[in-house]
A = this chain, B = another copy of it.
Amino acid sequence: METTGRTDQERSAERRRRELLEAADRVVLRDGPGASMNAIAAEAGITKPILYRHFGDKGGLYKALAVRHTDALLDALRAALDAPSARRERVEATLDTYLAAIEANPQVYRFLMHPAEGTSQGEGAFDVGLHSAPLLRRLGEELAEVIEERVDLGPESALLSRVWGHGIVGMMHAAGDWWLGERPCSRAQLVRSLADLLWGRLAAAGDRVGGPGF
């Protein structure tokens, strides 16, 4: 049959692509985001031009890698986000899921946050807004959706949910990044502290000495 023939080809191409991605993954995890295309090709047992035929350029390869990992993390987060528990517990579960993921393999996490290097050879006009890690954007949008569909925020809910989605994700990310570097406390403590912040403890706390506190 002709269909089997074409399907075989396509399946073979896809399998090859997955193999290449896995090799690239190994190299990036070992050598960091600056791994060379030669190194990746060598790890995969082939040479550069094949990589370029499959992924176009280095950006394409890295994007494919990032999508893989981002999808995996997003699945885990969605599960925590959709659990049938009280809001605070769910927030804590989501925070903990994220932190556990970046704790489990920081290399992946690091790679996801610095995917865009670009030879900069291109046009000088760069648009701010596309530069930062796409993972954070996706997370922010995802969280925004969940917030808007679940929480009653009054008339401005569309705007508020998005601001909060991105804001909370950024909070989680920055705190997690700092925590990974310094390890000043347990994961559970960090989760509780962040949830406390989101629960308005900053506003509720009293001033320390004289004058108006922060």
Query: Which residues of A are interface residues toward B (Cβ below 8 A)?
Result: 30-36, 81, 84-88, 90-91, 106-107, 109-110, 113-114, 116-121, 124, 126-132, 136-137, 140, 146-147, 149-153, 156, 159-160, 162-164, 166-175, 177-182, 184-185, 189-190, 193-194, 196-208, 211-214
Contact B166 A178 (CB under 8 A): yes
Highest count of chain B CB atoms <10 Å: which of A168, A189, A211: A168
In the assembled complex, which residues on chain B have CB atoms less than 8 Å from the CB atom of A128? 106-107, 109-110, 180-181
Highest count of chain B CB atoms <10 Å: which of A86, A171, A181, A199: A171
Given contacts A159-B185, A174-B167, contact A87 B119 (CB under 8 A): no
Tell me the smallest distance from the CB of A181 to a CB of chain B, in Å.
2
